[in-house]
Structure 1
Amino acid sequence: MSKRVTIYDISKELNLSATTVYRALKGKPKISDETRKLVIETAGRLGYKANRVAQSLTRKTIKIGVVFDGFHHGFSKDIIKGMQHAFNELMDFKVEGVYGDLSVPSTPSDVKSVLSELMKVVESGVNGIIFEPWLIREEYSKTINELAEKGIPTITIVSDVPNSKRIAYVRQNGKMVGDIGAQLLAMLNDKGNNAIFIGNRDVVMHSEVIKGFTARLKKSGMDPIAIYETQDDDSIAYYATDKLLRDYPQVGGIFVGTAHSTGVCKKINELGLRQKVKIVCTDVYPETVEYLENNTIQAIIHQEPYKVGEIAVKSMYKYLVEGTLPDKDVLINPKIVIKSNYEEYLIK
């Protein structure tokens, strides 16, 4: 059975946005006659047939709920920006985001509070949920399964709820992030005395970063001299750096595998150790760029949080409207950022 042609196929064929193709096919205004004719001719040539399910759904607003268990103000904000970009692109399809409370702290919240917020979003009449679960909780798995039984699908982002009925897990490639971090530090500091700072080992994504980092070091016959958990708190990272330097004065490199690296950089700067201790961190923010510019940070591994949000929304939309089931695991590969290219990844 041949694959049904969608507006995305037409948009790819013509190098037009899906929104433009949709507006042309629907006779919407602000589309030139030339473009409309080209879209209609291409649709006929490719064998496009309007999806009646999509037509019925778009008569009323499609609501996609967004809930975070712990809002990490830099990383999570970039995810939200990616989501909002996707929602804006889908505006003509009558799609909107329904956000849960984004004022929760970066540390994992009380499970009951998170589930209460999740159910508030569900009760607003959403058609699907995008959920960042942070830690693995049995209660989250149970709730996702109950929602699936009610016909409300869930996509998890960043961290996961294994053994649940979520339809997809969209996240950065944690093992590759750790692997690249280890390789960069090996080039910057060939003595092998490198440490890794991570948020929480129990977070699926963070454990993947540790695995990638240690596996790469082991290939060179080394292990990290220390692994510190900071709970993604800059103040904890600051004091953990002080402890690292006291316990392991020979340390020559630090990989900060989460978005909160300013505490580490602050301590290294205060002690005047920029030349001795090389730092590789994750994600591009004004704070990390400042430390990149003054040579405290040598390189940044950008995990593309914007893409995480954008892909999650578009995957949910395609599932709700077209019935297209996304891949169970959607991995987004990181980018290496240095002084010469950080502006490309700095999200305004």
Structure 2
Amino acid sequence: MSREKVTIYDVAEELGISIATVNRALNGKPNVSPETKRLVVDAARQMGYKPSKAAASLSRNPKRIAVLMMSTIMGFVAEVKRGIMKAYNDLKDFGLEVDIIEVVGDEDVDAEYIRRLDEIADEGYDGIIMLPGNESAIAQRLKQPGYGGKTVFATVVSDIVGSKCLFSVRNNGCAAGRMAAELLGMMTKNSKKVALVTGRNELFVHSETINGFKAMVDESGLEFVGVYEHYDKPSIAYKLADKLMNDVPDLGGIYFSSANSVTFCKRLIELGKISDIEIVTSDIFPEIEMLMRDGNIGATIFQNPFNQGKLVTRYMFEHLAEGRQFEDRNILLNPEIVLKSNIEFYSKNIEYVKYDMFI
């Protein structure tokens, strides 16, 4: 990505303070100490910062962004939403307005998502950020002539390939899959047979991860037995454990490429199988932390949903307010390996949503 000039974000990052504080200091607003104001002004001058005329006019002409979220995995989505709200709180003084629309449900959730997308596409938003579900159906909508008018579209967590979405902020799924395969290669002992359990194979974010995992299987000395889908439904994940154990009684390892792993692990405990299988999961929830501390999960791949939400909102605003362009539309965050020894450094920064992941 290229940027022609220094922005207020760069000044805030350089000083390690909030964008709102930099804004107050540069514009003579209250609630900023004289020392902080001097530091901000000096840093801005040294870095060559010049106020944006476009940004200065935003209070009179705010930028409206809608975020349409498929809330099938509540804990993960809650962290994405928290990141969005962090960006909003940083930028609201500059004229950013954000509406978050969550789609929940079981049977017709994909149809409901499309219905809500059609609604907000006609409401004159400057930008729409999508955490998508049925990507093929969304792609067909976005291909319709004139759909959304001048609205700018972007995605977070997954992507809609071949659509008119300007950019996508997501975890580097291919890297995550490769990391998981390498971990299982080191963790498995008696049996090298491994399975990958995911939400929906058709989703781009999952297909990326699956491809990365498969690419590393042979090099890691593993035997790949297949992909098992639970469609992000805990009840299906619970039953899927029985199927996998029946299919591969001598299974050595499992990689859960989506966040919905807890009910599956609970069933493995009930079956008395979890101690025989090495497990790598995705992300961090209270139940996953507990299972890791008990030695039932060996590692988890952290996808940083908070930063995904924060960055997609900030980048959308920068594009709308200052014309930021993207040389590469794929903005990929590096996945991180979390072990029992370092999980506390991650879990303490996550505001867990209290809900029952068990059934």
Looking at structure 1, the residues matched to 91 and 179 of structure 2 have their Cα atoms a distance apart, in angstroms, of: 35
Mapped contact 2:238–2:267 kept (Cα < 8 A): yes
CA deviations over 1:68-117 (Å, ceiling 9, x no partner): 245421211111111111111112223231011x2413677234x32331
Deviations 1:299-345 (A, max 9, x none): 11111111110110111111111111244001111111122222322
Which position in structure 1 is the counterpart of 2:286?
A: 286
The residue number in structure 1 matching 2:18 is 17
Q: How does 1:194-205 map to 2 (within 5 A)?
A: 194-205=194-205
Aligned mates of 1:14, 1:144 — CA distance in 2: 43
Counterparts of residues 231-310 of structure 1 (less than 5 Å):
231-310=231-310
Q: Distance in 2 between matches of 1:252 and 1:317?
A: 46
Structure 1 residues 132, 147: CA separation in 2 closer, same or farther (over 3 Å shift)? farther
| Residue segments in structure 1 that go unaligned for 5+ positions in a row | none
Letter of the 2:234 partner, please give it. Answer: D
Following the alignment from structure 1 to structure 2, what is the Cα–Cα distance between the partners of residues 305 and 221?
Answer: 31
Equivalent pairs, count: 346
| Stretch of structure 1 that moved more, 132-141 or 158-167 | 132-141
Contact 1:25 1:36 in 2 (8 A): yes
Q: Please identify, of 204-213 and 15-24, the stretch whose mean Cα deviation from structure 2 is larger.
A: 15-24
Q: Distance in 1 between matches of 2:151 and 2:103?
A: 25
Alpha-carbon deviation of 1:58? Answer: 2.8
Q: Deviations over 1:229-281 (max 9, x none)?
A: 11112221221111111121111111111101112211211122232112111
Q: Percent identity of the aligned residues?
A: 36
**Shift in CA distance, 74/106, structure 1 to aligned 2, threshold 3 Å:** farther
Look up the match of 1:29. 30
Preserved CA contact (<8 Å) 1:70 1:109 = no
**Contact 1:183/1:216 (8 A) holds in 2:** yes
Tell which deviates more after alignment, 217-226 or 267-276.
217-226
Distance in 1 between residues matched to 2:58 and 2:145, nearest whole Å: 23
CA distance in 2, matches of 1:199, 1:319: 32
Closer/same/farther in 2, CA of residues 145 and 333 from structure 1, 3 Å limit: farther
Matches within 5 A, 1:1-348: 3-100=4-101, 102-105=102-105, 109-111=109-111, 113-143=112-142, 150-190=149-189, 191-220=191-220, 222-326=222-326, 327-346=328-347, 347-348=350-351
C-alpha contact 1:200 1:230 (8 A) present in aligned 2:
yes
Q: Does 1 or 2 have the higher relative contact order (CA < 8 Å, sep 6+)?
A: 2
The answer (yes or no) to whether the contact 1:4–1:48 under 8 Å persists in 2 is yes
User: Which amino acid in structure 2 is aligned with residue 80 of structure 1?
Assistant: K
**Cα contact 2:103–2:113 (8 A) shared by 1:** no
1: CA distance, partners of 2:314 / 2:20: 12
| 1:49 CA drift (Å) | 2.5
8 Å CA contact 1:8–1:18 kept in 2: the answer is yes
Q: What SS class does the counterpart of residue 260 from structure 1 fall into?
A: coil
Summarize the Cα distance change of 1:313–1:108 in structure 2 as closer, same or farther, 3 Å threshold.
Answer: farther
AA at the equivalent of 2:205:
M
CA contact (8 A) 1:145 1:164 kept: no
CA RMSD of aligned residues (A): 2.4
Query: Cα 1:63–1:344, aligned 2, differ >3 Å: closer, same or farther?
Result: farther
TM-score, length basis structure 2: 0.88
In structure 2, runs of 5+ residues without a counterpart are 352-359
The answer to whether the Cα contact below 8 Å between 1:256 and 1:280 also exists between their aligned partners in 2 is yes
Quote the offset at 1:17 in angstroms.
2.7
- Given that 1:175 and 1:213 are in contact with CA atoms closer than 8 Å, whether structure 2 keeps it comes out as yes
CA distance change for structure 1 residues 37 and 215 in 2, over 3 Å: closer, same or farther?
same
